[in-house]
Structure 1
C-alpha cells in the first residue's frame, strides 16, 4: 500500500483533517494536499509520518 493511501485511510479512520495531520506529523500543513498532487516524500519524512501514525494509534488506545 502506498504512503498516501495509508494516510488517507488514517484520516478517514480517525476523522482528522489533512492539514492537521500534516502539521502534527511533520510540521507541514500542506503535506497531504501536496501528496495528492504528486509530491513524493523522502525516506526521512516517510519514517516520520509512519512513526506519527503508529504513535497516534497507540495513544488513542489508552
Structure 2
C-alpha cells in the first residue's frame, strides 16, 4: 500500500491529526501535509514509518 494512503487510513481509524502523527513519528508536524503536496520521503524514512504503523496497528487489534 502506498505510504500516504496507509497514513490516511491510520489517521481516520485512530482519530489522530496529521500534524500530531508527523510530530510523533518523524518529528515534523508538516510531514503529512507535505506528502499530500508531493513530497517524496527518503527510503529510510518510509521504512521507519511503515514499521511504526505496523507496531501501532498491531496494538489496535
TM-score normalised over the length of structure 2: 0.88
Is the aligned partner of 1:58 residue 2:58? yes
User: What secondary structure is seen at the aligned counterpart in 1 of 2:56?
Assistant: helix
Q: CA RMSD in A?
A: 1.2
After the TM superposition, which residues 1-62 of structure 1 pair with which residues of structure 2 at under 5 Å, given as runs? Answer: 1-61=1-61
TM-score normalised over the length of structure 1: 0.87
Gaps of 5+ in 1: none
Count residues in correspondence: 61
Q: CA deviation at 1:56?
A: 1.6
Q: CA deviation at 1:23?
A: 0.8
